[in-house]
């Protein structure tokens, strides 16, 4: 499940909005689990660019998490706070000399608050509580300024710190509003003083402009810092997801090379039914798999009851519909009393459940018994623990079957290409010759000698077909390693050509069977190319494996070819060789030049250096 989440997380960043909508809609209809799954993996995306409480979008910067917004500016804010406090204390010096205890008291309060915020910095988490702390700091400093001389107060600079905190917390739009509100809260009472004059107006305008400028600078600082942090966070997050996905895919690739035959669907179903029979007694059982190609339910296995091979959504028995609607195990103790329809008309009770895998419902399981109230609480508990492993095993078998089908299709393409290259021209030649002989025979000409030649040609083609089929059947097995397989194949090539083959091979240590088979097919393709196209006299074959890396090298002294000729490479089967090498994580190098022969080297590292 974690691997699937990682893979999906890595792919989300590359989906267009249309793709996301399509992915959302491609869920199992009628499944509550589907909606949960859709919301769970899209919620992180929906949060991007959306404020947590409606307050955090003033500066246009998307909020990616609910962390402390002020913390990144902590060191700078500490310096600013103590700097403005020091200036305020210096400006309040005359109050100490004149014993103005009111101003002195406020001075001590400002120093105490600065010390408190040094030990316990302001934290803004995007919620009402932290917003109250920011507003409270503004109110404290507005009160200090208003009650100690308005704009002539020694604590005006400390007010600038509070405006900066607002800008760092929520951006310049909020800081501008705070700066304007603080200026009005100070300026209006100041203007109501009897001695208020022209100088006071200028001072008010100047300090208001300073507060707004401080707000803009603080807010803009947060904006550019937030954008940088966001880009860095997104880049790191994307890189982490891609790295995790890459590691997972590599692990899956290595595991796929040694997948056991137990992933066969029939074996999984046989094992499942056998284990179910050992856990609980039943008279009928059915396992259904959801087919997302036509939204029908495929009956994979049924015993004790006759069922069609496929069921539409409306054709499910009502007991299974109930389990699907609830997205959980459902026990019907008495089918007749509960007005529920089970698999069999003779069933007295049943247990019906969904099979969840990859965050969705992939199938259904139903077991029934003829006797009502047959299943005990222990049976229910045993099945609850049994469901998830069964669902995963069935889902794995289904995907393995699909992967095996894809591999079979690719192998058919390679075989078709091989038959076309080897037999297509010969059969076409025979057809043309037959047409020519029939035309000459219709004219009364003697065609006996030509028929004899055609007979020999047919025998030659039959030999080619036999050789081709034998070559296709020749493969590495548990009993025959790659060295023995290459040796046997080289002997056959020597029988039908004049090329001298020299084989040098390590024996004993072996690769995993699937890797060894792909390396053998690369060697076979290279040797067949030598036979058909190279006009070589000698070929050297080297196979080395020391338990950590394997290397295959085939060198001929033929006419060679220009390696830049892509069309030529395709006819030689080089594309197929490269595909095989890539499928097992090997590197393939082909060196050739006209008149200088060809060297094919394939290296597979089975352990990291």
pLDDT greater than 50 at residue 550: yes
DSSP labels for 70-110? SGGGHHHHHHHHHHHHHHHHHHTHHHHHTT-HHHHHHHHHH
Between residues 224 and 406, the one the model is more confident about? 224
- Answer yes or no: do 210 and 352 share one domain: no
- Answer yes or no: do 225 and 90 share one domain: yes
How do residues 124-181 score in pLDDT, each as one tens digit? 887 888 888 888 888 888 888 888 888 888 888 888 888 888 877 777 688 788 888 8
In the block, residue with structure tokens 């094919």: 600
- Give pTM, 2 decimals: 0.37
DSSP 31: -
Q: Which token pair is 35?
A: 């909606």
CA dihedral 8, 10, 14, 15 (to 10 degrees): 20
Q: Please check whether residue 182 lies inside any domain of the structure.
A: yes
Q: How many domains does the chain divide into?
A: 4
Q: Please check whether residue 434 lies inside any domain of the structure.
A: no
CB 286 within 8 A of CB 299: yes
Q: Is 437 helix (H, G, I), strand (E, B) or coil?
A: helix
Average the pLDDT over each of 115-124, 275-284, 453-462 and give the range with the smallest value. Answer: 453-462
Q: Please check whether residue 481 lies inside any domain of the structure.
A: yes
pLDDT greater than 60 at residue 389: yes
**At 315, which CATH number?**
3.30.450.40
C-alpha–C-alpha distance, residues 11 and 7, integer Å: 6
Q: For Cα atoms 210, 211, 215, give the angle at the middle one, nearest 5 degrees.
A: 115
Q: What value does the mean pLDDT take over residues 183-206? A: 84
Question: What integer pLDDT is reported at residue 504 of this predicted model?
Answer: 93
pLDDT greater than 80 at residue 541: yes
How do residues 451-479 score in pLDDT, each as one tens digit? 888 788 777 777 767 666 666 666 778 78
Highest mean pLDDT of the ranges 376-390, 427-441, 538-552: 538-552
The closest alpha carbon to 9, from 292, 361, 246, belongs to 246
- Answer yes or no: do 208 and 269 share one domain: no
DSSP labels for 101-163? HHHHHHHHHHHHHHHHHHHS-----SSHHHHHHHHHHHHHHHHHHHTTTGGGSTTHHHHHHHH
- Answer yes or no: do 77 and 222 share one domain: yes
pLDDT greater than 90 at residue 512: no
Between the alpha carbon of residue 124 and those of residues 151, 165, 167, 322, 560, the distances in Å are: 28, 10, 11, 48, 72
Average the pLDDT over each of 246-260, 270-284, 502-516, 587-601 and give the range with the smallest value. Answer: 246-260
SS (H, E, C) 398-428: HHHHHHHHHHHHHHHHHHHHHHHHHHHHHHH
Q: In this prediction, what percent of the chain has a pLDDT beyond 70? A: 74
The closest alpha carbon to 593, from 565, 573, 571, belongs to 565
Question: What integer pLDDT is reported at residue 166 of this predicted model?
Answer: 80
C-alpha–C-alpha distance, residues 35 and 498, integer Å: 69
Domain end (from 212, 233, 254): 233
- Answer yes or no: do 213 and 101 share one domain: yes
Between residues 81 and 224, the one the model is more confident about? 81
- Answer yes or no: do 297 and 398 share one domain: yes
Q: Please check whether residue 455 lies inside any domain of the structure.
A: no
Question: What integer pLDDT is reported at residue 366 of this predicted model?
Answer: 92
Domain end (from 376, 405, 434): 405
**Sign of the dihedral through C-alpha 567, 572, 576, 582:** negative
- Answer yes or no: do 211 and 283 share one domain: no
Question: What integer pLDDT is reported at residue 354 of this predicted model?
Answer: 92
Q: Please check whether residue 55 lies inside any domain of the structure.
A: no
- Answer yes or no: do 82 and 153 share one domain: yes
Between residues 132 and 72, the one the model is more confident about? 132
The closest alpha carbon to 243, from 53, 423, 549, 10, belongs to 10
CB 382 within 8 A of CB 375: no
Question: What integer pLDDT is reported at residue 381 of this predicted model?
Answer: 82
Which structural domain, as residue segments, surrounds residue 577? 475-609
Q: Please check whether residue 223 lies inside any domain of the structure.
A: yes
Q: Please check whether residue 470 lies inside any domain of the structure.
A: no
CB 522 within 8 A of CB 553: no
Count other C-beta atoms under 10 Å from residue 32's C-beta.
Answer: 14
SS (H, E, C) 159-194: HHHHHHHHHHHHCHHHHHHHHHHHHHHHHHHHHCCC
- Answer yes or no: do 270 and 400 share one domain: yes
- Answer yes or no: do 131 and 188 share one domain: yes
Q: Please check whether residue 254 lies inside any domain of the structure.
A: no
- Answer yes or no: do 318 and 354 share one domain: yes
Q: Is 592 helix (H, G, I), strand (E, B) or coil?
A: strand
Q: Which residues contact 35 (CB under 8 A, 6 or more apart)?
A: 27
- Answer yes or no: do 578 and 518 share one domain: yes
């Amino acid at each position: 499940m974690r691997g699937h989440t990682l893979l999906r997380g890595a792919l989300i960043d590359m989906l267009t909005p249309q793709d996301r909508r399509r992915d959302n809609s491609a869920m199992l209809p009628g499944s509550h689990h589907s909606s949960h799954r859709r919301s769970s993996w899209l919620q992180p995306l929906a949060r991007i660019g959306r404020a947590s409480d409606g307050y955090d979008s003033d500066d246009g910067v998307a909020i990616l998490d609910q962390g402390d917004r002020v913390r990144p500016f902590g060191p700078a804010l500490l310096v600013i706070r103590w700097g403005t406090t020091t200036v305020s204390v210096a400006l309040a010096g005359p109050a100490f000399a004149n014993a103005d205890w009111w101003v002195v008291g406020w001075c001590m309060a400002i120093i105490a608050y600065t010390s408190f915020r040094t030990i316990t910095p302001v934290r803004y988490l995007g919620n009402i509580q932290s917003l109250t702390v920011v507003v409270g700091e503004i109110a404290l400093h507005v009160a200090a300024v208003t009650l100690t001389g308005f704009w002539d107060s020694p604590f005006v600079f400390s007010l600038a710190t509070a405006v900066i905190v607002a800008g760092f917390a929520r951006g310049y739009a909020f800081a501008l509003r705070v700066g304007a509100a603080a200026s009005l809260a100070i300026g209006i009472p100041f203007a109501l003083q009897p001695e208020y004059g022209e100088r006071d107006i200028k001072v008010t305008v100047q300090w208001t402009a300073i507060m707004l400028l401080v707000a803009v600078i603080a807010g803009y600082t947060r904006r550019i810092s937030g954008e940088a942090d966001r880009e860095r966070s997104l880049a790191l997050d994307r890189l982490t997801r891609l790295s995790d996905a890459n590691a997972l895919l590599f692990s899956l690739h290595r595991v796929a090379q040694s997948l056991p035959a137990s992933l066969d669907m029939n074996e999984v179903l046989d094992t499942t039914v056998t284990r179910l029979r050992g856990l609980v007694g039943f008279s009928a059982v059915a396992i259904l798999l959801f087919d997302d190609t036509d939204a029908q339910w495929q009956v994979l296995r049924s015993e004790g009851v006759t069922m069609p091979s496929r069921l539409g959504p409306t054709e499910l028995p009502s007991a299974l519909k109930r389990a699907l609607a609830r997205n959980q195990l459902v026990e019907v103790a008495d089918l007749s009393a509960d007005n529920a329809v089970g698999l069999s008309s003779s069933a007295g009770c049943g247990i019906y459940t969904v099979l969840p895998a990859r965050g969705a419902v992939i199938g259904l399981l139903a077991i029934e018994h003829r006797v009502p109230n047959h299943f005990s609480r222990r049976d229910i508990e045993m099945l609850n623990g049994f469901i998830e492993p069964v669902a995963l095993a069935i889902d794995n078998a289904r995907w393995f079957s699909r992967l095996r089908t894809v591999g079979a299709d690719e192998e058919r393409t390679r075989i078709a290409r091989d038959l076309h290259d080897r037999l297509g021209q010969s059969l076409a030649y025979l057809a043309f010759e037959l047409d020519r002989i029939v035309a000459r025979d219709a004219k009364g000409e003697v065609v006996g000698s030509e028929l004899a030649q055609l007979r020999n040609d047919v025998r030659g083609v039959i030999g080619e077909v036999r050789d081709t089929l034998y070559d296709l059947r020749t493969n590495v097995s548990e009993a025959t390693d790659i060295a023995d397989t290459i040796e046997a194949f080289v002997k056959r090539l020597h029988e039908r050509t004049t090329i001298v083959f020299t084989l040098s091979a390590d024996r004993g240590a072996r690769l995993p069977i699937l890797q060894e088979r792909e390396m053998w097919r690369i060697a076979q393709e290279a040797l067949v190319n030598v036979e058909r196209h190279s006009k070589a006299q000698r070929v050297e074959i080297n196979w080395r494996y020391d338990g950590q890396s394997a290397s295959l090298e085939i060198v001929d002294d033929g006419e060679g070819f220009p390696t830049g000729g892509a069309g030529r490479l395709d006819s030689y089967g080089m594309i197929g060789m490269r595909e095989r090498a890539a499928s097992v994580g090997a590197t393939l190098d082909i060196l050739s030049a006209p008149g200088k022969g060809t060297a094919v080297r394939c290296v597979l590292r089975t352990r990291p250096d």
